[in-house]
Structure 1
Amino acid sequence: MRRSLDFLYDAAAWLAALAMIGVLAMVLASILGRLLHFNLAGSDAYAGYCMAAAGFLALAHTLKKNEHIRVSLIIGRLAGGARRGLEIWALSAAVLLAGLFAWFSVRLAWLSHEFNDMSTANDATPLWIPQVAMAVGTVILLIAFIDEWVLEWRGLRSHDEDNEEALHNE
């Protein structure tokens, strides 16, 4: 199960990296269009779609690599049961919020598909297409938070923020 979850997080990160390449391609196409006097309709909108996809698809991988910004002012001073209780409470709140975020993201993409919602920009893209990346990214983030919650509950979660170097970076 661990290998499957890690593969899921890594796959989402690779898709995020591909989306960043998409941003680069759209920006370069727009620049070349201006230099060579042609208009590539929708390149700015597609760059935005790719940027949103990159951000959402990278969320779970970033969480699992302990790269999310975390304020550890209080929890860093706690130990034992108090720390574990606060960790479980924080992760429970994160699971709840990520679940709501995933639910409404999936619902938004589904409703955009149902109502045939189109972009108002000159690209006229069906909005469910770029919204799928947001929905997938938030669902994977929910899975990652549940993973962290289960690891904490079982006492298997590593607390890398305890090392000295992490404290110097905050």
Structure 2
Amino acid sequence: MSRRITASVYLSLDGVVEAPENWHFPYHDDATQEAVLAGMRAADTVLLGRKTFDIFAGAWPERTGEMADWFNLSPKLVVSSTLRDPEWKNTTVIAPARLVEELIELKARPGRAIGVHGSISLVRALLEHGLLDDLTFMIHPLVVGSGERMFPETGPRLPLRLTAATTFGSGIQSLTYSKEN
């Protein structure tokens, strides 16, 4: 059985994914925190795009706690054509041109899931190449109004199957979709 690549994305009702740090936290509570941690516990590798990597590498090494430990101690893969010497411990750089090949090889190795957090361009690329197995949207009960949206106006048709749904007291809905086989 191959490893799964999973992604977790914060999303507004109008599909905005940009800058969740500006709108997510009023809805964050213990139950949503536990759901995020459960997803992290199911993975043993972190896969990030370069922008998200830079944000996380600037924040997580100085933090403590279960989530910080997971980010800091887990093997991290960052997709980048410009990063040469990542300073964040346990980080390996994958060239975009080798992304598909590297991930096919990684999925074939033993281990738990490979978790993607944020990294919207990367999530789109994984979907396009059929590499993303599970996509969890943490849908927030607000309309942001402007910002980058999860899916562009034109793009590939992506049949997905709803495999889990939870509504939290904060109003966030967690919807997990798996790719159709």
Give TM class, smaller chain. under 0.3
Using CA pairs under 8 Å that are at least 6 residues apart, name the structure with larger relative contact order, 1 or 2: 2
Greater helix share, 1 or 2?
1
Rg (Cα) greater in structure: 1
Q: TM-score with structure 1 length normalisation?
A: 0.22
